Amino acid sequence: MAGVRFAARRGSLLLAVVLGALCVGATHGVWQVLTAPIPESAAPVRQVAERPAPLTVDVQSITAQHLFGVPVTQTVAPPTRAALSLGGIWFEPDGNAYALIGTPGQPQRPYRVGERLPGDIELTQVHPEHVLLHRDGREETLALPRSSLDAHPAGDRPGP
C-alpha cells in the first residue's frame, strides 16, 4: 500500500513541477516583451509625390463599344384612321392585358394581343394609355380618349 501512495505522490509532484516550469517560461516570455528596448524612430522622411499624368478618356471609343447594348430607336406610330374607338384598357406588365375596342354602331368588346379586329386589323400591343394596331402593313396607334385619361377615381374627385 505504501507503493501506491508513493506513486500517487510522485505523479502529483511531477505535475506540479511541469506546471511550475510552464509558469516560469510564460513569465520569462512576458518579461522579455515588456523590457525589450524600444527602437528609436528615424526622423520622418518627407516624400514628394509625383503627380501622375492626367487621365485622358476617349469617350467616342467607349460609346462605340455599346456597353449596354445597341440603342433601340422607337418610332411613334401614327394615329389610326380606322373607325375604331378605345373604351378601356386592362393592362398588366406580364402580358395579361386586353383592350375594349368598338366600331360605330357596335358594342365594344375585349380583345387580347394577337386577335383580329373588324377590318382585318390586328391588335399587336396593349399599353396603359393606348394600343398598337397592325393595319395594311403598318403600325398605328389607338389612344384612350383624353376625357378618360383625366378622370378621377370615385371618392377622389376635387370638391366644388
Question: With a threshold of 0.85, does the pTM exceed it?
Answer: no
* Residue 33, all three cell numbers: 516583451
The CATH number of the domain covering residues in 85-149: 2.30.30.830
Contact 126, 89 (CB under 8 A): yes
Alpha carbons 108 and 105: distance in angstroms, whole number: 9
Q: Per residue in 32-76, pLDDT tens?
A: 888 887 766 666 667 777 888 888 888 888 888 888 887 777 678
pLDDT-derived band of residue 121, with 50, 70 and 90 as boundaries?
Answer: very high
C-alpha distance across the termini of the chain, in Å: 113
What pLDDT, on a 0 to 100 scale, did the predictor assign at position 59? 85
Strand 116-117 to 85-90 pairing: unpaired
Region 104-120 average pLDDT: 91
Q: Does pLDDT of 151 surpass 60?
A: no
Indicate the domain borders of the chain: 85-149
Alpha carbons 43 and 28: distance in angstroms, whole number: 33
Contact 128, 73 (CB under 8 A): no
Region 82-104 average pLDDT: 89
* Residue 49, all three cell numbers: 509625390
Q: How far is CA 101 from CA 79, 96, 115, 119, 137, in A?
A: 15, 16, 12, 13, 20
Alpha carbons 117 and 133: distance in angstroms, whole number: 9
- Greater confidence, 107 or 94? 107
Amino acid at 34: L
